[in-house]
Structure formats: structure tokens, C-alpha cells
Amino acid sequence: MSESPNTDSTAISVSSEPIHAADVQLAQARISSVIAPTPLQYCPRLSEELGVEAYLKREDLQDVRSYKIRGAYNAISQLSAEERAAGIVAASAGNHAQGVAYACKQLGIQGRIYVPAKTPKQKRDRILVHGGDQVELVVTGASFDEAAAAARADAAETGAVVVEPFDARDTIVGQGTVAAEILSQLTSMGKSAHTVVVPVGGGGLLAGVLSYFADMAPRTAIVGVEPSGAASLRAALDNHGPITLDEADGFVDGAAVKRTGDLTYEIIERNLGRLHLLDVSEGAVCTEMLDLYQSEGIIAEPAGALSVAGLRELHLTPGEVVVCIISGGNNDVLRYGEVMERSLVHRGLKHYFLVNFPQEPGQLRNFLENILGPDDDITRFEYLKRNNRETGAALVGLELSAAADLQPLLERMEVSRIDCQQLHPGTPEYSFLI
């Protein structure tokens, strides 16, 4: 890891002034004419499976399908006439950009929005739909951090105002309105939250939720959940300050941030006594995305399923009230093939092998009859080199009916004359498969 200074001199309202519930309540009043409260939905499946009273805060049902509209609108609506005339720039993996675009159109402000090349096409298209003629979309860089650097360079050159996706006070205060709604909705049901589970990328939502509950419900435990491939907050806490990750897995694109924010870190560190931080694998996120879709009909993006994936890692008290924030639903349907693949690998059901068949006839039949189990299914078969139909090296993908079937399969491969090499996740060879 290497340190990376934050040079956000043109950003909106980067301040270390503490955030209180009153600030969040003012933001609620400010955005309420444009942004309606989202449902707090009881989830029978998770409640029964985990023995708790589980609720889902449905931020995927926002007009822009993400909570990010809250912070963006709260920040932009407070710009002076001079700042509005100068225009704004923003960088985003997609969701903040949609919030900014929506606010630009509503308030008649010109904006340029920078997104990294890995931003799904669905999110790019929605940015232009929400912003219309008020926004220009610029695709640049391989990561959010590179797009953010380009946006700041633009602001330095043109005098435009940077609307930060997470590391600014007005943005954080706006995101905190999620917490205010949760508390109000539970109170109206005569309930209080024991645990609130929050997805974590740059830390803006977590900082806002922590700040509000610190004032209004300090006994509520807050759980932050990061993707394992981009755990920038954990790295910051271990380092006693924000630090830039050398690499970040971009699959959970809404939370794939290499460096947590300076202000968000300050707020989070101040509230460590009520925070439990964990990370979950991208495969676990995929499994929860599929479960949410199949059981609840919720189309969650990867970051939107982080909280539910983290819920399964917690030791919860039977009967306690737990809230998971479904942070966004901007998922491209074309990604579901990869989502399914990663889920199968995570559950131990999908495996890949390099199979070197002996140079003699009948070995493919031998593999099918004597190595494969009765319920094993070949999902991929590609000859890499062959002299005829039944000889040569092949890439073989197998789907098992149960994870426990792997060891017997490996034992049959071991005693066979056919040379079988398993490919393991995390290796360079495996990266070409998924």
C-alpha cells in the first residue's frame, strides 16, 4: 500500500465540524420536496433463517435507484448563485453520478460527470436519462480514484465546484437522512433497532448513519460491511489514517474505493465504540444478490447486497430487530451470468480443471464414466491442444450438486491415469475464467 494525499481544495464543504442529528433533520426538510422516504420492508425469509426480526431499507427504490441522491441533492441545493453559474463536476462509479445528474436537471445547473471505464453501461445510460441536457458524461480511468483525479483537475482548470461522492460534510449529512427515516419508521411500529447493517465504500453513508444514531439511539449497534477486494476502511483503521490500496477488485463497483475519505474516516474513528466492521467476499455478495432476486424480487446491485451478505457473518441475539440497508439497484442484467458463476464458485459448486488426456483412444469416455460422479455436470469443455477428437489437453468446468462431492471427485482423479490439475480462485490462470 502507498499513501496518497487528499487535495480536495475545490470540494464542497469538507469540514471536520461534528455532524449531529439536528443537521440531518435540516437536510431532511431540505430534500423532502424532491426525495420521498423509501420503505422499510419486513423480510420473512431472513427473519426465519436467522431467528431475528429483519427489515430491509429499500434505497433501491429511489428515483435514481440509490441512496446517493440524498447527499448529492443536499449538497447541490445549497450552492450559491455564483457557484451554480460556475457549474459543477463530480466523479462516481455510477450512483453518485445519477444523483448529481438528477439534481442538475431539477435545479438547472450544468455539470460534467466523470466515471471510470468499468462503470456498467446501465449506469451510464441512466446518468444521461436523469441529467438530460444539463450534464456531460466523461468516461476516463480504470478506477473511481482515477476518475476522481480527472474531475478535480477539471475543477482546478475551470473553476467548477466539485460535488464529492462521500468525503464532504453536506454529502454525509444528506446520506444520514437514511438513518433518520429508519428510526422514524421503526418508532411508528413501536420498535427500536438493535443492529443496523450498512454497506461501505468511501464511508459517506456509514459516517452519516453513525452520526445520527450517536445522538438519537446510541445503544443501536452499527455494522459496516466492505467487499473483501476493496476493504479501504479496514486498511485505514489498521493504518490509523486513510491509506490508498494498491489494488481494488472492481466487481462491487458501488463500493470499490481504494481510499476511504479523510472526513468520513474522522467521523467513523470517533464512533468506533459503536461500530463493528467486517468484510465479505465478492462471491458471497453474488449469492445474496441471487437470493434477494429469487425470494424478494429485489434487483440489487453488488453494493446493494453487501449488507445482507454481512448479516450472515454476525452473531445475532434471537428476536432482535435488524435493519439492512439495500443501498442500490442499478445492476445491469448482462452481469447476471458472472453473478451466477461467482456464486457457484463461492458455494463450492463450480470448479475448473486442466485435464491432460493420454494419447490413446477412449480416454474421454474413461473420464466421463470413471471420474465424474453421477450428479456432476460438465458446464464447459474446451480442447486447448489436440491431435484427434479424444486426445490432448482440455479445460473442463464442472458443476457439482453439493460442495461435499468435491473431495471424492479429487480422489478419483488422483488414482486415474488421466492427469487433472485443479485451477484455484486467486491465481493468474483462474482470472481468465471469470
* Catalytic annotation, residues: 68, 327
Let me know the angle formed at the C-alpha of 199 by 198 and 202, rounded to the nearest 5 degrees. 115
Determine which helix (DSSP H) or strand (DSSP E) holds 399, and give its type and residue range: strand 392-399
Q: Which residues pair with 40 in a beta bridge?
A: 57
Q: Give the Cα separation of 69 and 271 in Å (integer).
A: 25
Q: Give the Cα separation of 219 and 391 in Å (integer).
A: 66
Per DSSP, the residues of 343-393 read HHHHTT-EEEEEEEE-SSTTHHHHIIIIIS-TT-EEEEEEEEE-SSTT-EE
Surface-to-core class of residue 119, CB atoms within 10 Å of its CB (0-12 exposed, 13-18 middle, 19+ buried): buried
Alpha-carbon torsion (310, 315, 318, 320), positive or negative? negative
User: How far, in Å, are 37, 197, 296 from residue 178 at the CA level?
Assistant: 8, 12, 21
3-state secondary structure of 292: helix
- Extract the C-alpha cell encoding 79: 450552492
Dihedral over alpha carbons 116, 71, 323, 24 (to 10 degrees): 160
